[in-house]
């Protein structure tokens, strides 16, 4: 099936049975559908602004976007890098939609 989904190659069997006028000596053929689609592009929202509040922690939400769906598991490593040393990042939570 033609699609644009990056996916693993798919294998199927073609099996012969109930021959008439012949004998099946090798009745199983294997077909492999080779995926020809590359992975989607991933981007992170370039910047966000948030108010510091008056106490406690605030949440900063960065949105990651894929250019299109993938048939494979997509993962990415998140790394925190301090620009201002007084910023304390206590935790990172990830959710998907
Ligand atoms: Ca394709
Ligand atoms: Ca595909």
Summary mean pLDDT of the chain:
89
87 or 35, which is more confident: 35
| 60 or 68, greater pLDDT | 68
Calculate how far, in angstroms, residue 4's C-alpha sits from the geometric centre of ligand 1: 4
* Spatial CB neighbours of 8, under 8 Å, sequence gap ≥ 6: 35, 71, 72
Residue bearing tokens 């073609």: 14
Residue 63 has pLDDT above 80, yes or no: yes
For residue 70, how many other CB atoms are within 10 A of its CB?
A: 16
Look at residue 42 in the predicted model and tell me its pLDDT: 94
pLDDT at position 90 over 90: no
CB of 27 closer than 8 Å to CB of 16 = yes
Distance between CA 92 and CA 2 in Å, rounded?
A: 38
Q: Ligand 1 centre and the CA of 73: distance in Å? A: 18
- pLDDT of amino acid 24: 97
Q: How far apart are CA 90 and CA 97, in angstroms?
A: 23
């Amino acid at each position: 099936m033609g699609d644009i989904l990056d996916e693993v190659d798919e294998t199927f069997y073609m099996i012969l049975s109930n021959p008439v006028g012949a004998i099946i000596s090798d009745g199983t053929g294997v077909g492999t559908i080779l995926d020809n689609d590359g992975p989607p592009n991933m981007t992170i929202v370039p910047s966000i602004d948030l108010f510091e509040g008056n106490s406690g922690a605030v949440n900063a939400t960065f949105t990651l976007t894929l250019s299109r769906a993938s048939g494979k598991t997509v993962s990415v490593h998140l790394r925190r890098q301090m620009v201002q040393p007084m910023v304390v990042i206590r935790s990172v939570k990830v959710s998907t939609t």
